[in-house]
Chains A and B, each alone.
Chain A
C-alpha cells in the first residue's frame, strides 16, 4: 500500500461536521414528522423523497468528503447511478403493467 500519500486539504474545521450533524438530525426529525402528521398522497411521497435526498446528499458531500474530492472521482462515482435510475423507471412501468394484467385477468377470468 502506498502509505505516505494524503488527500489535499485533509482537515476541516470541526464546526462543519457539527453543522451537518445537526442538519441531519433536523431532517430526520422532519421526515419522521411526515409520518407523525400522517400526510398522504403526493405530498407525503414528495416530502419523503426531498428529505431523503437532502440527507443522502449531506452525508455523501460532507461526511464522505465528496464535496472536497476532485471531479474525476465524483463523476466516476455518480454517473453509474443513471443505470440504476433507468432500471428503476422501467421497473415502475413494469410493476404497473403486472398489476394491471393481474387485475384484468382476475376480473375477466382470463
Chain B
C-alpha cells in the first residue's frame, strides 16, 4: 500500500465527534489528479455550437428531442390502433395491413428509438459528465458522430412509411419466416429499411456507449470513487454495458435477415411451400432468430429499466430528504440484474417450440432475477419511510413509478412461470404486463426526471399546476388503459388481432375495449399538456436559483446554471462523500453537498463512504 492510499483511507473516517481537532488538512485529503486537463474543442459558429456540436450536453438535448419526436409518432400510432380496437370499422383507412404496420412501428419506436435513446443518449449524455465531474465525454467527436448516426437511423426508419408497401408489419419482434415473405405488409422495402435502421442504430449507439462507459470508468473527478457515484450513473452505466454486449446479437440477426431477404440465403428460412410451390429456401432455423433476438431483447428490457431504477432512486432521495436506503445493496442489485439479464432471454419463447428442457432453466433464472429487483423496490419504500417528503410533481411521478412497476413486476412473475405463461401467452395479459413494467414505469421516471432536471437545463422551473394535471391524467389514465387489459387477457382475448369479428369475445370485451380506447385518447392528449408546459416554461417559467432542489450531486454545483461547455469553470470539483447526505444528524443544513470537505461538517454523523 502506498502512503497516498493510506492517507486517503484515513480521510474516510467518520468525522463524528470533535476528536479530529481543528479541521486540519489531513481529513480533507484527496489524491492529486492522475490525468492532465482534458483538451476540449470549443465551437465557434452556430453550426459547431448547436448542430455538429461536441458538447455532451447539447448532444444529450439533441438525442432527447429526436427521441421525443419518434415517441410522438409512436403515440399517434397507438391512437390509431386503439381507434381500430375500440371502434372497429369506423375509419376505412385502418385496414388489417396498416394495423399490423402500426403495431410493429409502435413497438420498435417505443422500445428502441424512444426509451433506449432517451435514457442513454439523452440523460446519459447530459448527466454523465456532470455527475462524475468530467468536463465532457472522453471522445466528444465520436460522441457527435453517435448522435448523427442515430439521426440517420431515425430518418431511415421514418422513410419506411413512404416506400411502396409501407413499413414492415411483422410485429416488433420481426420473426422470420413471415417477416420477409410475401403476404406480410412491407415485406419488400419496409423490412429492409427497418433492418438497416436497426443496424445504423447499433453502430451509432456503440460509439456513444463506449464514450459513456469510459467516461464513467476513466474520467471521474478527484475523490469520486465508484461507490460514491449517484445511482443514476450506476443505472446508466450498467445499462450501457448491457447495450454494448446485447446489441451485437441484434446486429447479427439484422445482417442475417437482410441476407435472407436480399441474397436468398436460408439462415432463418426453413423449407417453405407457398401456394403449392416450393420456395428456394431450405433448412434454415427460424428459432435461431428468436434466440438471437431475445438474447438482445431481454437485456434490452433492462437497458430501459436500469437507468429508470437509478434515476428514480436519486429523485426519491432528494425529494424525501433522506439518504437512499441501502446504497451498496442498490448498486449490487443493479449489477446483478445486469449480469443475470443475459441468462433469462428464452422466457419470451415458452410457446415457440424450443427444447422443452429450457422452460425449467429459464423459469428458474427469471425468478432469481426477481430477487434483486424486489430488493430495489423495498429500498425505495424504505427510503420514503419517515422521510420529509415533498409531494411535488417529481415525487408524484416517482410514486407513480413504484406503483406501476410493482404492478408490472408481479405480473412478470406470473409470466415467468411456464405453466402460467402458456395459457396467458399472446393475450392482452402480456400486453398489460410489459406496458406497465417497461412502458408506463420508465415513462413515469422520464417525466419525473424532466421535471427534476429542467431547472438545471434551462434555469427555469416547469409549471407545477400543469405538472400535477399531467401526472394525474397520465397515471389514472394509464391504469384505466392497462388494468382492464389484464382482465381481457384472462378471458383469453388474443393480442395482435385486428378485429374480433363475431367471436364470443365481442360481447364480453367490446365495452371494455371502448373504455380502454377512450382512456388512451385522453392519456395521449394529456402528454400535450406536458409539451405545452415545456415550451411555455422556457420563457415564462419561474426562475430557478442555483441548486433549487437542494440536492447534493455535482450537476447542481456548477458555477453557472445552466452549465457551460466544460461544465465546471476553472477547477474541477473535488468529491468528499456520496450524494445522499440529507438530514444528517448534527449538520447545520439538511443537505451536505458532495464537495463539502469533512472539516466543514465536523459535528455531523455522516455515513462513511
Contact = CB atoms under 8 A, between A and B. Distances in A.
Please tell me whether chains A and B touch each other in their complex, using a CB distance cut-off of 8 A. yes
Interface of A: 1-5, 80, 83, 86-87, 90-91, 93-94, 97-98, 101
B402 to A, nearest CB: 30
Given A2-B35, A2-B36, A91 B287 contact: no
A3 to B, nearest CB: 8
B245 A80 contact: yes
Contacts of A98: 285, 287
Interface stretch (B325-333, B353-361, B405-413, B562-570): B353-361
Most chain B CB within 10 A, of A1, A80, A91, A94, is at A94
Given A83-B245, A98-B285, A90 B358 contact: yes
Interface in B35-58: 35-36, 38-39
Nearest to B353: A101
Nearest to B219: A2
A11 to B, nearest CB: 21
Contact of A1 (B39, B346, B357): B39
B353 to A, nearest CB: 8
Contacts of B397: none
A86 B285 contact: no
Most chain A CB within 10 A, of B287, B343, B355, is at B355
Contacts of A80: 245
Given A1-B39, A2-B35, A4-B36, A87 B295 contact: yes
Interface in B249-303: 285, 287-288, 291, 295
Interface in B338-364: 342-343, 346, 353-355, 357-358, 361
B38 A93 contact: no
A70 B357 CA distance: 40
A93 B288 CA distance: 12
The 8 nearest A-B residue pairs measured at CB: A83-B342, A97-B355, A2-B35, A93-B355, A94-B355, A86-B343, A80-B245, A2-B36
A16 to B, nearest CB: 28
Contacts of A4: 36
Contacts of B291: 90-91, 94
Contacts of B358: 90, 93-94
Interface residues of B, number: 22
Contacts, number: 37
Given A1-B39, A90-B346, 18 more contacts: A1-B139, A2-B36, A4-B36, A5-B34, A83-B245, A83-B343, A86-B343, A90-B291, A90-B358, A90-B361, A91-B288, A91-B291, A94-B287, A94-B291, A94-B358, A98-B285, A98-B287, A101-B353
A3 B138 CA distance: 12
A94 B34 CA distance: 50
B417 to A, nearest CB: 19
A5 B355 contact: no
Nearest to B362: A90
A91 B361 CA distance: 13
18 contacts: A1-B39, A2-B35, A2-B36, A2-B38, A3-B36, A4-B36, A83-B245, A86-B342, A87-B295, A90-B291, A90-B358, A91-B291, A93-B355, A93-B357, A94-B287, A94-B291, A98-B285, A101-B353
A93 B86 CA distance: 44
Interface string B21-43: 00000000000001110110000
Contacts of A93: 355, 357-358
Given A93-B355, A93-B357, A98-B285, A5 B35 contact: yes
Nearest to A96: B355
A93 B34 CA distance: 49
Contacts of A87: 295, 342
B194 to A, nearest CB: 24
B363 to A, nearest CB: 14
A60 B34 CA distance: 27
A65 B38 CA distance: 26
A80 B343 CA distance: 12
Given A5-B35, A91-B291, A97 B354 contact: yes
A86 B357 CA distance: 15
Contacts of B36: 2-4
Contacts of B343: 83, 86
A87 B353 CA distance: 18
Nearest to A1: B39
Nearest to B354: A94
A4 B39 CA distance: 12
Interface in B345-386: 346, 353-355, 357-358, 361
Contacts of A83: 245, 342-343
A97 B283 CA distance: 14
Contacts of B342: 83, 86-87
Contacts of B361: 90
A98 B353 CA distance: 9
Interface string B136-152: 00110000000000000
Contacts of A86: 342-343
Contacts of A2: 35-36, 38
A31 B597 CA distance: 61
